[in-house]
Structure 1
Amino acid sequence: MIDLSNLSPNPGAKKKAKRVGRGDTTAGKGTKGQKARSGGAKPRWFEGGQMPLYRRLPKRGFKNPFRKEYQVVNLDRLDALFDEGAEIDKEALKAKGLIRKADKPVKILARGEINKPLTVKVDAVSASAKEKIEAAGGKVLLLAAPKEEKGDSES
């Protein structure tokens, strides 16, 4: 009877790995050719001399080093988590778990509806979000971004 304790592969089905680099002369690598030389392995992306894919495709776009990354909060979350007349700033948003870091800029976006007056103090607000907040009787106060000096201070 066959069960898991006496299963074994067929004879000759499992091949021992060749231990290259042992012994004299060719050291198990056959004769000559690139693969027999030291450092003779080609990189995996090598296409046999054909123009490689990464050079056939055009370069596109760039990563803007001056991009401002905002932490985004939508109006539906503000409406659900804050009481009427609440003053919302970065610390309040962090306390409610809507943002991770109070030192990074915050932007309010207009997804959802807001039905109570709120005072919002953040770094940026979309035009439609500002419209909705003010229509509900709330106020939007934008925090002044710290000025960054460009170039050398000494001239």
Structure 2
Amino acid sequence: MWKTLATAGAAGAIVLGAGTAALATSGSSSPSVPSSTPRTSAAVAAAAGSSSPGAKAGKSHKRLAFQRLRNFEHGTWVTKNGSGSVTHTASRGTVSVVSATSITVKSDDGTSITYGVDSGTKIRTHAKKKDAAITDVKAGDKAVVSGTGTPAVAKHILDTAR
């Protein structure tokens, strides 16, 4: 269950981070025509701000991706399944409102996302380190929430308050 949350968060953060790096590298807010010159991993790492040449470039690029993941705030992405597409949403921040049927998380950039809470929502708190109830989550706690659908229904809530 938490592997899914971590995988989903990592995928979202990597997608967001790669897009941000590409935008920062291009220096433009509009899409550009792809270059016909192939880019090596050393060139990609150099463009991302790494000064390590050759074999170390791959490791630096991975390290940069994990550093961006630590700074993840919120994101939305779509995946395919057998019957169509699924919209995933994840956010990290401060719980601003919590009730028996919903939770709202406000990220540091001011974005608030409200998720529905149902019997399928898995909740874990730092204090219990096991399954918890929505009543264990309090406004003001730091949390990571991931969900699916539009509007989003929380699949996982991790309350990191001590």
TM-score, with length taken from structure 2: 0.19
Highest RCO, 1 vs 2 (Cα 8 Å, sep ≥ 6)? 2
Structure with more of its chain in helix, by fraction: 2
Q: Which has the larger radius of gyration?
A: 1
TM-score, with length taken from structure 1: 0.20
Structure with more of its chain in strand, by fraction: 2
